Amino acid sequence: MSLEGQHVGRYALLRLLGSGGMGEVYLAQDSVIQRQIAIKMMRADVTSYSNATTMQEAARLFLREARAIAMLDHPHILPLYDYGETTLHGTSITYLVMPYRPEGSLTVWLHQRGSLQDPRGMSQDIVPIVSQAADALQHAHDHQIIHQDVKPANFLVRSNQQNPSRPDVLLADFGVARLNTATASGSSSIRGTPAYMAPEQLEGHAVPATDQYALAIMTYELLTGRPPFQGGLAQVMYQHIQTQPIPPSTLNPHVPADVDTVILRALAKKPEERFPSISAFAHALQEAMHATVAGTLISKHTASRATPAIEQSVLPSADSRTRTTLSKSKMMVFLVLTMLVIVGSIGFISFSVTRKGRLDTSNATVLSNTPTAQNPYAPTAVLALNDPLRDNSQGYNWQTGKNQNNATCTFVDGAYQSTQPLDGDFHACLALATNFSDFVYEVEMTMVSGYGGGIIFRANQADSTFYYFRVSQDGSYDVRAYVDAQIDHSILLTEGSSPAIQTGYGHPNLLAVVAQGSTLAFYANHQLITRVSNSTYSYGQIGVVAYNQGGLATVVYRNAKVWRL
């Protein structure tokens, strides 16, 4: 039943704008200050035909939405003007009053705009939209609110006078938001839009990374014109839990490899394998996209993209540590969800590979090794990490524990130790709470046994990609870009030996990398030993390794430092 022409307090309902779930949104006129507003209220059919319990639930959700919006003050979140209750046709109705945006939703704008799938359109249009959305969601997360229904239809558009082709977006509809406050209910109700729901949301356990997953799906849609998972309701839910998405570049060849990597990391099945925050995801996307427009990324037709490395890296691995086999509990959840027809691991993953196969060296340029200044590091850089590596108290979340091959990452006797007992393999230990782009990374390494150690940087734990600077006890070194550690698909960038490296066991070597854009410079004991140009990866985590070739490798690390450039 339409409520057009009715009055709700001081608001005259003009026409229906849309409806969904238990709510309807009307365009209304504020009779006091003479402006048009949008008013969200219980659907007429809910109030007319529903029982008291359903109406109470609807009222509870409206009140929760009002409280959620009232807690937030952000330029990209649609504000709340008013909240109240009234009686229509003898029934009590709850309503919310918000600004009216005549431009409509982001969905409408995209249909009017057409394709954003060329490289310049991606950078100029998609990046601002995603950045604004992420800023709004980060603000909500900072206030312990998880939106749980991130999608284009829930972002309203506001015209930008300075740049009409690049509108502002406003996050709306907190109707299913979860408030993680001390007084919040412990309910694990499953609400949201199935096409955008993360695996943990389908299980009723939403976390802030759940919104990151949904925003990544929205970004995927902006890049390709479609979400990563399609089909019937049961098929889509199954794919969220079980199926790895294909890279966006498969559907849009203009999408560069680095953007593929960012999107696929944000779509990791496990929340802890995504970016540490939704802001970090947006920043990574911005860096990858802007670098592409500037021409600093590797072309998709160079040697690094001649083989489908990134596509391979996101497929389920035969290694049981990273396999995405549907667990019994998740299968049960999936079956239950399918029957209901919804509307509207302790430890860590480590890199442990066997060196085999031909290595591709076509993707690197070795630069001059002549130092350009007496001080090998940038003197104006800002110290961002200073960790003696005695324990995990600094908050960088260095990995600790043992994997199935008994390789370990652990703090021992006031230092950080990596071991690898498996011959021919190396074992990486990452600082999971780090994410650096242009930087100087320095750490002291002491070989106790085995063949070598070294440092990892610009790593992505979720898909096992990283740069690896290995230094051996005989004074040799090599630098590689791993594009899929699970099958040892690595690119050898350079190798050699240097008298700057102290040989044998028990002698500390101060290792460092200066990473600025595509230029990577490597140091041992403050002496430059090699420089290469390679832009496979532009940001990520730091770490250390132990490499075994002929005997148990044990490597000890102290005093990790990172300076931002």
pLDDT tens profile 97-155:
999 999 888 988 877 765 455 545 565 788 999 999 999 999 999 999 999 999 998 99
Looking at residue 326, its pLDDT comes to 44
The identity of residue 524, as a single letter, is: A
Task: Please indicate, yes or no, if residue 359 is contained in any of the structural domains.
Answer: no
Co-location of 401 and 438 in the same domain: yes
Q: Average pLDDT of the chain?
A: 79
143 and 63 in one domain?
Answer: no
Question: Rounded to whole angstroms, how far apart are CA atoms 82 and 227?
Answer: 35
Report the DSSP beta bridge partners of residue 81.
none
Q: Give tens-digit pLDDT for 290-324.
A: 765 555 333 333 333 333 332 322 223 333 333 33
pLDDT digits (tens, 9 = 90+) for 53-92: 556 767 777 888 888 898 999 999 999 999 988 887 777 8
pLDDT reading at 168 higher than 70: yes
* pLDDT surpasses 90 at 335: no
pLDDT digits (tens, 9 = 90+) for 249-272: 998 888 889 999 999 999 999 999
What are the CA-CA distances from residue 14 to residues 57, 89, 101, 254, 487 (Å)? 27, 18, 15, 45, 62
Domain count, the chain: 3
Q: How confident is the model at residue 234 (pLDDT cuts 50, 70, 90)?
A: confident
Q: Which of 474, 532, 533, 526 is nearest to 502 (CA)?
A: 474
Question: What is the chain's length?
Answer: 565
Q: Tell me which DSSP letter residue 91 carries.
A: E
User: In the annotation, is 478 catalytic?
Assistant: no
Is position 89 within any domain?
yes
Is there a contact between 398 and 389 (Cβ–Cβ < 8 Å)? yes
**Co-location of 26 and 72 in the same domain:** yes
Classify strands 415-420 and 553-564 as parallel, antiparallel or unpaired: antiparallel
CATH classification at residue 44: 3.30.200.20
Q: Tokens representing 6? A: 């009715």
Are both 408 and 319 inside the same structural domain? no
- Cα angle for residues 283, 215, 159 (degrees, 5° grid): 85
540 Cβ neighbours under 8 A, 6+ residues apart:
435, 436, 457, 458, 459, 460, 465, 466
State both tokens at 118.
């060329």
Q: Are residues 227 and 306 in the same domain?
A: yes
Burial environment of residue 146 by CB neighbours within 10 A (0 to 12, 13 to 18, 19 or more): buried
How high is the pLDDT of residue 334? 52
Catalytic residue among 30, 149, 168, 387: 149
* Side-chain half-sphere exposure of 563, counting CA atoms within 13 A: 15
CB atoms inside a 10 Å sphere around CB 57: 15
Amino acid 44: pLDDT: 52
Do 61 and 91 have their domain in common? yes
**CA distance linking residue 233 with residue 237, whole number of Å:** 6
Share of the chain above pLDDT 90, in %: 46
Residue 458, H or E segment? strand 452-460
Are 290 and 170 contained in the same domain?
A: yes
Per residue in 534-543, pLDDT (tens digit) is: 888 888 999 9
Which tokens in the block code for residue 165?
Answer: 């082709």
